[in-house]
Structure 1
């Protein structure tokens, strides 16, 4: 007899918020009664994320049981250094260098369903069904497996792939200032999206009866990115105005609905099922901007070409690397999500970068200079820890890891502008 396992992923979830939503609070009651009961009846604990707690490496670690140094996923994008130019490419399933739990279960003739996990496209062969996360809607159908799955999903009332897919233009707005109306629309956008992922999960759980069912809800992360001030109890105003209350209630409405989805999936899994719930990373507020590439430029390790004085040049300059002089750059941070610094090592004397023999000395000096970076107002250190490649990411894929990974004082992300 196969004991069914149900894994429920909540992207960016943190007890700092969930504890508040699972307790009876004045004016809001218990927002997530099912989760409250679930935590009382089961076991809960903080989960240590990957050395750099970021969605792609952390979820990949959760579905492989391996650290990023083994599975090879470090960020949303990888930088392909071709010496005189660098190309950026999205990571995908082909970059994962070890087995996933989907394939392990399949080898034991266990049927699986995997929904909305990142880095799962193009889809691997597996015994069951898979719909990847982080996929544009125009490419979603061909990245599902099996081939017949899309037709089955069309039986869901109101089904449209745009609701399931990753909207890159919209998600790129994370971190931007939004007025209250736009923020309300942002929160509202994620409600039907989570609803459809729930409907897909319910359909496949009921119809396919898989031994392993896994679905990840990512609205938790997206809403917290923009609406953290309306969720964190430590940031709640003593006398909130109507606008604040409106946005706060929209956030609570999302979590109420999410609680209902979790409750129904657990019910459908049956009383004998093993239920696991986890997040890829936590969440917190950040009020400091660390312009790491600008600091590297000040140190002389990163160089820009001059920008021409015309509109076309200024538009091109909106891209962080459009005017970077790769011939003279020896250290850079590729993405704000990575908190990473890559050190360029010349394989031949004619190539840009430092000599291989100078690598360890250069890295040690750079680490000292990074630790010396201080907040200009408070004088406090900006960086609390710096992880080296070999210490943080041992394994078969270690050579592709960042040379240095920065842990900021407030656990925030860097800016590359």
Structure 2
């Protein structure tokens, strides 16, 4: 193997350095100390579903086409998948040059496109994806035993949580070693998602974080010992950290300034969290489920003005919120939620992990009410309004509020938000939900930060080179350079100074399959449980 790329979702120096001090992750520590390492600036938005495609294409979302966990067709949504990636991936570029690859657990890779090698999809894939070549997941299971994409329990609360996370990590390592033995690839890419998941499901549980990294280190040691790759790169898509700021309800703020209109007990937005219903968990689509009596009753109550938000405020004051919500199904709560009315609103936040505002533009949105001639003035007013948003501590809510073209450019930038909103220090939790107050305690005490890590060691790596200013977009051209290959001239990144740059080239357009929908309620459920879908 010429180059091994190891993806640690959400890894960052504040998480890794205490583990280095303890000496519990010797393989990772050796790579960081004997090789070269530094911070890796993520993209906007710095979330898994968009950031990993940016890393493995070297391009911004305006080119590859994935901006969030959700994709929108007018006001309708679905969870993104591999068919939404509209640029050539790193392993497809290597295939173009005659090199083979093994890719395990990389997010947003299902359904797979053909290439020279093998791929087992990761995050946003269904539990039993096809993989590539056809039937490869069955072969893996025959060879190593059980292999799962997701944890046995999406929200583990018991003492066995560490074992359940580590079980998945061992599966990744076993599957990767089996596939490398079988395919003898030039390039290997293994990604570990649990290094991120633990912070969403068990915030502050640093003992479990330690267990997860110890197991990752074991698997990495076994891979390196078995295959002796000439070059090893360890990368993350973003960082993670504790949130000490505020929950800022963007749509509530916009409503109070006349941009958002609402509807009670209807089919407005947000309604992203899938119904926690046994039929849905069995894979039956939500449109085929007849609303329960409780849902119908809650809709009637909400239309009369007594919404879930108002009930929640009363329950919080009485100290009963957790007791009641643990006993009332999410579909009933959702049915009573006051929601953004897409059709009557001027602008809104569709999904909090998009990090921005979409304008209800005439001719683009199904019921757009902002004309082309008004677009620029409406956007300027919104930008000024949001730049002036001030948190209760007296500081601005946002570090940046800018037009989308500052961060997104390419043939698919029209799918992006119109205004990008970057929360101050990534310490303010943005929410698309409506509530009685604009500000509150952070919905999640730990969440994503802007800077991850990169470390590299090997025959083609200059360990004396400085990694200051390294960006997520730089990883794909850097990997190509370890093969002596030119980067795609359309990439937004450049090879890091740790490798010898070999210039750029014009590549033919990738042969793309038709975009398909994700019709798997279990995937939606997991994203909702992790807080990515509200």
Bin the TM-score by the shorter chain.
Answer: 0.7 to 0.9
Contact map agreement 1:137 1:166 (CA 8 A) in 2: no
Cα distance 1:330–1:139, how it changes in 2: closer, same or farther (>3 A)? farther
1:177 aligns to what?
Answer: none
2:236 aligns to what?
Answer: 279
2:10 aligns to what?
Answer: 12
Residue aligned with 2:36, SS:
coil
Q: How much has 1:322 moved relative to structure 2?
A: 7.5
1:33-82 Cα distance to aligned partner (Å, 9 max, x none) = 1111111111101111112211122110111111112111110111221x
Q: How much has 1:128 moved relative to structure 2?
A: 0.8
Cα distance 1:349–1:7, how it changes in 2: closer, same or farther (>3 A)? closer
1:125 aligns to what?
Answer: 114
Contact map agreement 1:201 1:215 (CA 8 A) in 2: yes
Contact map agreement 1:13 1:279 (CA 8 A) in 2: yes
Distance in structure 2 (CA, Å) of the matches to 1:122 and 1:63: 16
Residue aligned with 1:264, SS:
helix
Residue aligned with 1:190, SS:
helix
Distance in structure 2 (CA, Å) of the matches to 1:73 and 1:364: 25
1:21 aligns to what?
Answer: 19
Residue aligned with 2:240, SS:
coil
Contact map agreement 2:104 2:120 (CA 8 A) in 1: yes
Greater shift, 149-158 or 330-339, is seen at 149-158
Q: TM-score, normalised by structure 1?
A: 0.83
| 1:62-77 equivalence runs, <5 A | 62-77=55-70
Q: How much has 1:7 moved relative to structure 2?
A: 0.6
Matched, 1:103 2:96: no
Unaligned runs of 5+ in 2: 267-295, 303-330, 434-534
Residue aligned with 1:44, SS:
strand
Q: Which has the higher contact order (CA 8 A, sep 6+)?
A: 2
Q: Which one of the candidate residues 121, 139, 155 is aligned to 1:152?
A: 139
Q: TM-score, normalised by structure 2?
A: 0.65
Matched, 1:347 2:371: no
Residue aligned with 1:164, SS:
coil
Cα distance 1:257–1:15, how it changes in 2: closer, same or farther (>3 A)? same
Q: Which one of the candidate residues 175, 187, 195 is aligned to 1:200?
A: 175
Cα RMSD, aligned residues only: 2.5
Q: How much has 1:387 moved relative to structure 2?
A: 3.2
Cα distance 1:73–1:43, how it changes in 2: closer, same or farther (>3 A)? same
1:243 aligns to what?
Answer: none
Q: Which one of the candidate residues 287, 298, 310 is aligned to 1:311?
A: 298
Question: Aligned pair count?
Answer: 373
Cα distance 1:330–1:321, how it changes in 2: closer, same or farther (>3 A)? farther
Residue aligned with 1:156, SS:
helix
Q: Which one of the candidate residues 141, 164, 167 is aligned to 2:149?
A: 164
Distance in structure 2 (CA, Å) of the matches to 1:135 and 1:404: 26
